[in-house]
Amino acid sequence: MSNSKQAVPSTLPLLRDRIDSIDSQIQLLINERATCAQKVAEVKLADQGDDAVVFYRPEREAQVLRKVMERNEGPLGNEEMAKIFRQVMSSCLALEKPMRIAFLGPEGTFTQQAALKHFGKSIVSAPMAAIDEVFREVESGAANYGVVPVENSTEGVVNHTLDSFRDSRLKICGEVEERIHHHLLVSPNISAEDVTHIYSHQQSLAQCRAWLDRYWPHAERIAVSSNAEAARLAAEAGRSGRAIAAIAGEIACELYGLLKVSSNIEDRPDNTTRFLIVGNQEVPPSGKDKTSLLISAKNEPGALYRLLEAFERHGVDMTRLETRPSLMSRWGYIFYIDFVGHYLDEGCCAVIDELRERASEVKVLGSYPVAVL
């Protein structure tokens, strides 16, 4: 084993020898860990059987990554170290069973970026044209899990995602938050000075409006179906010598071989989107969880108050309340509520039991680990 107390060599060749020695130890340990993961898969198969076996364990992954961050002593930062272990676990899970993850496409969207952040890069990611198609792909078993956007700090909730839970039996198995950084991108053989049109999704054009007004006031802004589509169009135009630019993220930049003219051009530096992981499994407690509910309130005076009062009385911290038309009656509404804790926790269980008496419908969408990365 490497002894970190040894005197650190001072010459480049000796330092590189030391790095080679450490690398060989790391490589042995990673393969030892992967062998353990293979044994875990055998135990899971023996315990659960071929049809019911669930290899992906979100609660365990969250616990592993939290421990990594808690014991980290640097110089690498906690998040950087957790990302390394995220990929190690992704590779180990792929050894147990390769995961096919459906996401709101096309290739290059922030949702794909979020899927790779949450599951690591050893997955097969499948782009879907719409959010309900992501749900259907997972419900049919064609994908193991799905990743969909649920809210953005600038634009608010994604209604299509909330509405998809009304009729779906899928459970929320996790969440991931992605800082949304927009970049101005052009094809490598295009000069930025020649750009006359800037393509992006309407939301992204809106999120970069002040920057565009200041630095590119004369460029025409063209809204397209997604940032990834804008990046594809910029790459395609570049091949025929047409000077158009795209506003898109890192993954689209890499995917379509574009160059960054300007980075992080979003007007609000805290621009963040939260994504949900949906699947066919309930997740056991991880020690730091949240729960999402769908509730149909009775159409009577004080109905909403009585629902919310139960949380306060049981000391359960409600973190989100969204309203959507119920579609069951013209002015009926359903409520999406997030709260801190797992539905199996005593206080949360008591609240849910009371809600079932006070509401016309209570659907537990899932309890899942609070986002770690």
Ligand X SMILES: O=C(O)C(=O)C[C@]1(C(=O)O)C=C[C@@H](O)C=C1
Taking CB under 6 A as the criterion, the residue among 65, 68, 89, 176 binding ligand X is 89
Instruction: Find the shortest distance in angstroms from Cβ 61 to ligand X.
Output: 5
Instruction: Find the shortest distance in angstroms from Cβ 57 to ligand X.
Output: 4
89/334 with CB nearer ligand X:
89
56/275 with CB nearer ligand X:
56
**Which residue stretch of 89-97, 192-200, 303-311, 351-359 sits at the interface with ligand X (rule: CB under 6 A)?**
89-97
Locate 241 and state its tokens: 């010598």
Q: Which of residues 59-88 bind ligand X (CB under 6 A)?
A: 60-61, 64
Q: Does 176 bind ligand X (CB under 6 A)?
A: no
Instruction: Find the shortest distance in angstroms from Cβ 119 to ligand X.
Output: 9
In contact, 102 and 114? CB cutoff 8 Å: no
162/283 with CB nearer ligand X:
283
In contact, 298 and 328? CB cutoff 8 Å: no
Distance CA 208, CA 184 (A): 10
253/278 with CB nearer ligand X:
278
Bridge partners, 220 (sequence order): 197
Which of 91, 113, 96, 95 lies closest to 104, judged by CA?
113
Q: Does 92 bind ligand X (CB under 6 A)?
A: yes
In contact, 324 and 336? CB cutoff 8 Å: yes
Instruction: Find the shortest distance in angstroms from Cβ 63 to ligand X.
Output: 9
Map residues 93-112 to x or -, x wherever contact with ligand X holds by CB under 6 A. Answer: x--x----------------
Instruction: Find the shortest distance in angstroms from Cβ 222 to ligand X.
Output: 42
Locate 89 and state its tokens: 């676990």
59/338 with CB nearer ligand X:
59
Helical pair 78-96 and 58-71, crossing angle rounded to 10 deg: 150
Distance CA 110, CA 227 (A): 8
Which of 112, 73, 56 lies closest to 283, judged by CA?
56
DSSP string, 354-371: HHHHHEEEEEEEEEEEPP
45/304 with CB nearer ligand X:
45
The one-letter code for the residue type at 59 is E
Instruction: Find the shortest distance in angstroms from Cβ 79 to ligand X.
Output: 18
- Number of chain positions touching ligand X (CB under 6 A): 11
Q: Does 57 bind ligand X (CB under 6 A)?
A: yes
72/153 with CB nearer ligand X:
72
Distance CA 227, CA 234 (A): 11
Rounded alpha-carbon distances, angstroms, from residue 177 to 182, 273, 283: 16, 6, 19
56/135 with CB nearer ligand X:
56
Taking CB under 6 A as the criterion, the residue among 40, 69, 219, 308 binding ligand X is 40
Instruction: Find the shortest distance in angstroms from Cβ 36 to ligand X.
Output: 8
In contact, 152 and 347? CB cutoff 8 Å: no
Distance CA 318, CA 52 (A): 33
Give me the residues that bind ligand X (CB under 6 A), please.
37, 40, 56-57, 60-61, 64, 89, 92-93, 96
